[in-house]
Chains A and B, each alone.
Chain A
Amino acid sequence: MTAQKRELLLGIDVGSTTAKIVLLEDEKIIYSKYERHFSRVREKCAELLSGIRDIIGNDSVRVAISGSAGMGLAQCADIPFAQEVFVVGEVIRKNEPDTSVVIEPGGEDAKIIFFDGAPDERMNGSCAGGTGAFIDQMATLLCMTNDEMDAASLEHKKLYPIASRCGVFAKTDIQPLLNQGASKSDVAASIYQAVVNQTIGGLAQGRKIRGKVMFLGGPLYYCRGLRERFTETLGLTPENAICPEYAIYAVALGTALYAGKIGKSTGLSELIFSIENAKSYSESKDILPALFESEDEYAEFSARHAKADVAKADISDYCGKAFLGIDCGSTTTKLVLLSEGNEIIYSYYASNMGNPVEVVRGELEKIYSLCGEKIKICGSAVTGYGEELIKNAFGCDVGIVETIAHYTAAKYFCPEVDFILDIGGQDIKCFKIKNGAIDSIMLNEACSSGCGSFLETFAKSMGYQIAEFASKGIYGKHPVNLGSRCTVFMNSSVKQAQKDGAGVEDISAGLSVSVVKNAIYKVIRAASADELGQNIVVQGGTFYNDAVLRAFERELGKNVIRPAIAGLMGAYGAALYAKRFDASSIISPEALSQFSHTSKSATCKGCTNNCHLTVNTFSDGRRFISGNRCEKGLGLEKSDVEIPNLYEFKRNSLLKMQGGEGTRGTIGLPLALGMYELLPLWYGIFSELGFKVVVPEMSTRRTYEKGQLSIPSDTVCYPAKLMHGHIARLLEEKCDAIFYPCLSYNIDEKASDNHYNCPVVAYYSELLEGNIEELRDTVFLYPYLNVNSRKELAKGISDYLSKKLCKVSLKEAKKAVDKGFALYDSYMASVRAEGERALSFAKENGKRVMILAGRPYHIDSEICHGIDDLAKSLGFVVVSEDSVCHLAEPPKVRVLNQWTYHARLYRAAMVASQNENIELVQLVSFGCGVDAITTDEVRAILEEHGKLYTQIKIDEITNLGAVKIRLRSLIGALDEKAEKSEEKEAQKS
């Protein structure tokens, strides 16, 4: 009997990384399958579908498709499409009606569905990591499989804060942790915690997750550690934290059910045929020209680059002095051993496996055995992320900052070099060289990845080794245009390209072009190739990739030099640098054979920074502590307590501004955003009016966590996010009222075209009122005020307070406003006086000054992450922009100079420009739209005056490794410049 009338429903779910199918008969699952598709969407679907041939034979099924990669497929194959979040909602409503919330991180999307109260279904915005792809990427970084990482995470003892916004940020946090020896299980669990924080912060956005929670999707199904983190963070009881059997098929299941409504009835063969033959629907594919027109062209290219080689010698033939260079990079470790005649007699380049100490130990052992008695290491230098750790572990003679190492190497190679571009594992570094010294340094910011590990991750996700992936790119006939943006965006671009049917060759070539464009237009910010210079040296492991190299030459329209040792340049430069030594302090072969190393983590209690320390202990009992911002954590006392630090000065002054009689009650002022500028004014006004002013504390990481749940926009800047924690803290204080005014206009300092606040500082109260429910239990005061007219301000205060809190007469208000301004003026005067004192201190003591230029709220110890302390420990006198900007006239700028805080930046840049010993480092909060405008201007002012521009992007990131490298690069470049000019002076005389 063939004439069946059984109802078969088929759901196909093609996500960004996996394909799933579910077959239902009479609403029962009779078949299901889950597999990664490695971007071969059509083939994989056809393959999965063949698997049900035995079950359904020639019977027809009703089918629908879902998933992000399924969208295009559905369209091409003319099969109904079901939106994945929507169908999951339907499944849960039907099968588990008592569920309150569904949490489903997918391959590249994250979703959350609320059932209680007003139902709501949400997906992550466009800037959000915390997904399966992110976990994959992190596992790669840890050199673990996903299963290993999961198992390790369950063993964790402690959690590190890891920025959860996107893979790039998280990497910046994780890499140093690994390099400093943090345990992998702690890091693994911390990564899961970051995913949890991202999901809760980015998706729940203030809506409480409680009741019965359903965990769905691959990542939650497979990672017990991730479930554990969710359960613990949300405080769920076991019966409320459910991960059902069908968790990974939930979407496919929902799609099958949905197929019952809208599905298309079809036979299996017909279905497979239509999927296999689905034409790409996008007619106008964005295609780039092939990297090489012909085999000949590639041969010419290879021959040209083969010329840029260095001399090598066989270590077994050599005897005499040797010099060792070690480059302990973020993902790879490189070693070079040089002969006295600069021949490479030994080199090593490989991944550091997350444990660079062990890698270097092994290599040293090898080198010693090869050297025997005939070769003596007379100098050793180390550079890179792990510089300090390696230097301490093995007793290297000197640690040098990467920029200097790379320049030393490039100069040796091409003495007239005027531009160096280095693309490494996760850094892009560019230096311009002028008059034999580094003239400007550009490093990629936390949000512009496009480096080596980025390509590697993509290669792996498509099932290739990086070398094979790169060589495929060379032969791509129609590279896809993927734009130039950060990894998260790139993921979706690749997804789209795959959907349009692009093959791995074209994607590889396209990604190479993207990496190059990212470097040129985003990091270097060049409008044309000529800006770069005439003699360009490219280096870093990524340039071993011929596709990247070719794309770079294409984009520039000129040939560049890629040394054959592109990936070893840091180590090579370090080795060259080591030649200045006659004898080396490096660990002896005997000591090396005894060497062992353990690490554990600790928290420094020296000050409020609460640095996370990693304590490395070596076999001879020596210890090396890293992760600290200042010297305290090392067990030493702060050396130069006398060095002025305006950030500290301002913090101390502001924290004194609280208290009062309290005859009229208490009023809480959140110390965040604009309050950092006008606290003296408001404190003066309210204390004069008889209120007790409560300003609980400066931000800490805890402050952020406290308020995290009510942040509605995950792309807003960190200083704004912290505001939520301050409000939460003030609510605990049970003040009679909380005050944060709305100020479209800030104080007019008569140094700009207008005197606005940025929209976030100006109106954040509107958002607080709408998003923090608890604020409704107290009196939240957020009047619109005019701080440029005492009369209007007094009137505003008197009207508003009388209406909302208690009667305040105009006369009282006037007096209070006068008092407030007196305090504000004297505070500002004291800041300026201290600024001047700091400058003269520096002059008298021959110190360099750093204007750490940002906004008033950047002095917050959680926002600036102790960068002021770090700068101080590097020998700078630290001043803030508002303490010195009065010393220069406002310069002409090419933009509308219309914000009070930002106008100070331009003047501060002038101060740095006019003084030999003053440098400016600009702090930029991630997501600060206004700084997209100011940074270019500040840079222009400084460079016009021959000064170096340094920018530090800050966010939740807490690890200062990268910042330290930047600041040390600055010092290195300054020293070198000073040396050069001294030389010149000497020559003249």
Chain B
Amino acid sequence: MTEGFVEFTAEMKKEYKILVPNMLPMHFRLIMRVLKNYGYDMELLESEGKHLAEKGLRYVHNDTCYPAILVIGQFLDAIESGKYDPHKVALILFQTGGGCRASNYVSLLRKALSKAGYGYVPVIAFSFGEIEKHSGWKITIPIYLEIFHALLYADLLMNLRNQCEVYEASKGASALVCEKWVAKLTSGDNHLRMPTKKESARTYREIIDDFAKIELNRGQRLKVGIVGEIFVKYSPLGNNNLADFLVKNGAEPVIPGFVDFILYCIYNVVLDKKLYGFKSLVYTVYEIIYNVVLKKQKAMIEAIKEEGTFDAPTPFDVTLTLAKGIISFGAKMGEGWLLTSEMVELYHSNAKNIVCTQPFGCLPNHICGKGMMKPLKEKYPDINIVAIDYDAGATAVNQENRIRLMLSNARLALESEAEAESESEAKKESASGEAEKASV
């Protein structure tokens, strides 16, 4: 246990508010709802603006990754806002562990807190394997499973919304459906308790049906995948509203789900056993959990397929086979091999245009992101990837210009594809003897 650790006690649980950083707003709202059932009072921070990063830069080494700077800045901004009693709040950070420097976010947050005079504020590291013990923070395996379930709902909502938004006939229709479902899933007592298989299947179907009712003008689809370091990949705060930018420019964002990342984290533990011969009962437990979550993800995917309107995401056990021959499973720090796999996954799901996001100077992404572009391009010559660095000093102008370049090329490819298609259509038609009529 590192220095500066303040326990979140059982007493605190009764009267403290736990502040949550703004990474995946919709997902986190659902997680918070699950935890509310177990007596945790949580609040999602929704502040935005340049001042958050600036606040972070004051308390964190400037060469630290951007997500740490942002999140720590957001926390300190909240504590100093006067909205909360600093003696009645706790902070929570999602921590994956591993050899990436991201494992140090919690320590960096504690250092920043004590530097700013809030050393007494407890910080909870939310991770799968418990890194630290807090008597007031007890997440059992059943609670985790409920959380995973909630995340699957959120993944589904995110996925369908992305498939609709750019094509919707009346602006904002899909956002409304999303809001409606988040409200429905989080209101009332005891919501998001472990559903039965039947119940969850019904909810999936209802959600999908609601989206299917949205009127869309879907012509040719320009799909753009987003992969990258987990924070800047998902967080609009971190990636300057990347998904919105794409939608505004007529592209359909395709963002692999958060549950894939969770499965990746679980599966890596299983892999450690295979690669390094580690032995412990823990590995067996992880293997079991992996299989349970995977099965649940597949049920969600099945529901989309069954309904038929939308493209179904790729199940994790398929995703994990995709990077074979490009990068090994051993590369597991940060987003590791998953990042490479997801690029291949996107390619195969017709999102050949990809924005690979990373904080400036991200160590694992040197290898798994930028380092894999050459082999990917060799294998898939028409893949169109642009790497974008996010940083407190990087400006939206430069990022947008590079994304626009990627989009221009994507459109060109789409045009020539369409031409080729219409040519072959024409050929088909002439073969069936229709062409003569048409040419007159």
| A→B interface (CB under 8 Å) | 68, 71-72, 81-86, 109, 117-118, 120-121, 123, 125-127, 205-207, 286, 448, 481, 483-486, 489-490, 492-493, 495-496, 499, 521-522, 525, 527, 712-713, 715-716, 720, 742, 744-745, 753-754, 756-760, 762-764, 766-767, 769-771, 784-786, 789, 791-792, 795, 892-899, 927, 929-933, 935-936
Contact = CB atoms under 8 A, between A and B. Distances in A.
A485 B392 contact: yes
Given A744-B333, A895-B107, A933-B104, A527 B371 contact: no
B367 A933 contact: no
Contact of B375 (A117, A486, A770): A770
Q: Which of A84, A126, A784 gathers most chain B CB within 10 Å? A: A126
A234 to B, nearest CB: 19
A642 B404 CA distance: 62
Contact of B327 (A745, A762, A766, A893): A766
Contacts of A742: 328, 330-331
Q: How large is the interface on B (under 10, 10 to 19, 20 to 34, 35 or more residues)?
A: 35 or more
B397 interface: yes
A932 B328 contact: no
Nearest to A488: B393
A896 B409 CA distance: 44
A896 B2 contact: yes
B111 to A, nearest CB: 5
Contact of A71 (B370, B377, B389, B401): B401
A792 B273 CA distance: 11
B363 interface: yes
Given A127-B389, A720-B366, A83 B405 contact: yes
For the complex of A and B, the 4 pairs showing the least CB-CB separation, nearest first, are A485-B393, A489-B393, A756-B99, A767-B371
Contacts of B2: 753, 893-897
Contact of B363 (A795, A895, A898, A929): A929
B423 to A, nearest CB: 20
Contacts of B53: 483
Contact of B65 (A448, A496, A929): A929
B366 A716 contact: yes
Nearest to B327: A766
Given A744-B330, A784-B275, 19 more contacts: A71-B397, A72-B397, A81-B404, A83-B401, A83-B404, A83-B407, A123-B401, A448-B62, A489-B395, A490-B393, A742-B330, A759-B366, A762-B99, A763-B368, A766-B371, A770-B326, A784-B276, A789-B276, A929-B361
A771 B375 contact: yes
B331 A763 contact: yes
28 contacts: A71-B401, A82-B408, A109-B398, A123-B402, A127-B360, A483-B50, A484-B62, A492-B397, A527-B116, A745-B276, A759-B334, A760-B366, A760-B367, A763-B331, A764-B367, A766-B368, A767-B367, A770-B371, A784-B330, A786-B275, A791-B277, A894-B4, A894-B110, A895-B111, A929-B101, A931-B63, A932-B61, A932-B63
A742 B99 CA distance: 13
B400 A71 contact: yes
Interface in B315-350: 326-328, 330-334
B271 to A, nearest CB: 9
Interface string B353-396: 00000001111111110111111010001100001010111111
Given A85-B405, A898-B99, A760 B363 contact: yes
B214 to A, nearest CB: 28
A759 B99 contact: yes
B364 A759 contact: yes
Given A521-B58, A766-B371, A896 B277 contact: no
B277 A795 contact: yes
A744 B405 contact: no
A484 B367 contact: no
Interface in B110-129: 110-111, 115-116
Contacts of B366: 712-713, 715-716, 720, 759-760, 767
Interface in B406-430: 407-409, 412
Contacts of A896: 2, 103-104, 106-107
B363 A930 contact: yes
A420 B242 CA distance: 43
Contacts of B387: 125
Contact of A521 (B57, B327, B400): B57
Contacts of A933: 61, 64, 101, 104, 108
B59 interface: yes
A784 B275 CA distance: 7
Interface in B78-111: 98-101, 103-104, 106-108, 110-111
A131 B61 CA distance: 28
Contacts of B41: none
A522 B61 CA distance: 8
B77 interface: no
A123 B391 CA distance: 17
A898 B102 CA distance: 11
Contacts of A771: 371, 374-375
B306 interface: no
Nearest to B111: A894
B430 to A, nearest CB: 29
Contact of B99 (A757, A769, A935): A757
A892 B401 contact: no
Nearest to A447: B63
A716 B398 CA distance: 21
Q: Which of B373, B392, B393, B402 gathers most chain A CB within 10 Å? A: B393
Contacts of A930: 101, 363
A895 B2 CA distance: 6
Given A521-B62, A771-B375, A715 B360 contact: yes
A893 B111 CA distance: 10
B389 A125 contact: yes
A121 B101 contact: no
A492 B398 contact: yes
A86 B332 CA distance: 36
B3 interface: yes
A753 B132 CA distance: 13
A527 B365 CA distance: 30
B344 to A, nearest CB: 13
B61 to A, nearest CB: 5
A86 B405 contact: yes
B302 interface: no
B54 interface: yes
B395 A492 contact: yes
A206 to B, nearest CB: 6
B408 A83 contact: yes
Contacts of A81: 404
Contacts of A486: 393
Given A744-B330, A895-B107, A896-B107, A936 B61 contact: yes
Contacts of B392: 483, 485
Contacts of B64: 929, 932-933
Nearest to A206: B374
A205 B331 contact: no
Contact of A744 (B61, B99, B110, B391): B99
Contact of B61 (A525, A770, A899): A525
Given A86-B405, A712-B371, A935 B276 contact: no
Nearest to B63: A932
